[in-house]
Structure 1
């Protein structure tokens, strides 16, 4: 009797990349009609230099702890980029039986808070936990990303802002992005990297489950398995107070295993976006109505 197929992150990722690879792009001569897009299992196995039986067991979740050499061979056969290759290695080296209980809420280190406050006059900055929860922000970061939240919201774990949840479920935050689809794809690709790196994170799994249930858009993107570290780039904002901005972002990962990172934004010198950011900075010093508590 054939073994039943187990759904594993490794198997799902391999299937998604195998389906996306056209035979002609892999140098495979195709004969006859194909029932499914992409490479067949036996074709990928041949390209990687492994047996079709072994590859099938790997994809179906019946073989674990494949050697790094086999994973590298599969990555080459699938034409994976550097981020996808690293993600494949993470998925192929799980830590079984150690899904941890919910931990105490993460906090930003005092030195990290001091650092983003020192940037506060010119650079919007936020400190993110591994699940994209906001652990701290300076005044300009708060005003740029979530002025409709109370300034002290990151200090209250029970209703702490989460940038990914807000992107898909908070209409105010969603409207902030002029290129929402681009931002959504980037957010899901980054979350995929984190999910592969921290496979035992229960709260992360719960966040992914919540978004998959409540947002069809998230579920659709998640099923496509985009993978990218998204350490830098440009974000396009449509801010309710100062209009359109194109801001460069840099994500600096802290040198520990926490998964925390500092997300910082800047504008091109002399640009309209710099002028808009300057105006927003001026508004942070003006008296205003208290933001509603979230």
Structure 2
């Protein structure tokens, strides 16, 4: 019996070529109507300098010994950025492992002390699958009291798609949610056999149409800094920056720290939020959680 097709590679290549027009790829216009969006398979093969049959087998996920030079040529043909290129290489060379449960993650005591020392801005530590491993007092005040949630629910993806109060916190929910899906896609490329990821993606795909559609897009991008807008039920609109730092000894733990412009209305509102939440707060000030059915 032959090996199972590499469906992740198949779908990634298909969605990438669908996003590029012949003009963007530098191809001369061809007469007649086009039946597919983006590039045809034979056009990708031409641009990459491989045979059409070779590329068709690769896109069908049935080529198991693809060389680095061929992957580089295809990445150039599809105009992949560095992050997409790295994702392509991981998908094309998957590990031959059975699904296995990964060991629990623990936040180092030093990182926990650093987190708690950040008293003027929200901060959280994210782990695999965007699990929330730890948060400081203002992080819980801004989002929700993660520590009061069942362990299974301490996950940004579950909250942003399935919890209405968490969802309503984001002024630009679509953008934030698409970023979450992209992060999960990148994680899936690194850990394709993680059963907890399969369970999470399956649940979100069934329960949320937006997630289902964006997951099928196979988009991958990474945001390590930027700006987010929030509608907080107690203090109103907040415009906060964010910076993400990955632990050198554990690349799957990320410290996310919010920033705020000194003297801005958001800075004053953040101070007000901090004054309303003591160090022993027991529940979220963002309101009662309202999980979606």
Structure 2-normalised TM-score?
A: 0.90
Contact 2:18 2:38 in 1 (8 A): yes
What's 1:68 paired with? 68
What's 1:215 paired with? 208
Structure 2 distance, partners of 1:31, 1:99, is: 49
The 1:253/1:289 distance shift into structure 2, 3 A limit, reads: closer
Contact 2:137 2:279 in 1 (8 A): no
For residue 165 of structure 1, the aligned residue among 154, 158, 168 is: 158
Q: What is the correspondence of 1:1-294 to structure 2 with a 5 Å cutoff? A: 6=5, 8-29=7-28, 30-96=30-96, 98-119=97-118, 121-147=119-145, 149=146, 151-153=147-149, 157=151, 159-257=152-250, 259-285=252-278, 290=283
Count of paired positions? 285
SS where residue 63 of structure 2 aligns? coil
Runs of 4+ in 1 over 6 A off after TM superposition: 286-289
Structure 2 distance, partners of 1:276, 1:169, is: 27
Q: How far apart are 1:258 and its partner, in Å? A: 5.2
Q: How far apart are 1:232 and its partner, in Å? A: 1.2
Gap runs ≥5 in structure 2: none
CA deviations on 1:119-169 (whole Å, 9 max, x unpaired) are: 1x112111111111111111111111114x5x444xx63x44111111111
Structure 2 distance, partners of 1:235, 1:203, is: 28
CA RMSD of aligned residues (A): 2.3
Q: How far apart are 1:172 and its partner, in Å? A: 0.5
Q: How far apart are 1:105 and its partner, in Å? A: 3.0
SS where residue 240 of structure 2 aligns? strand
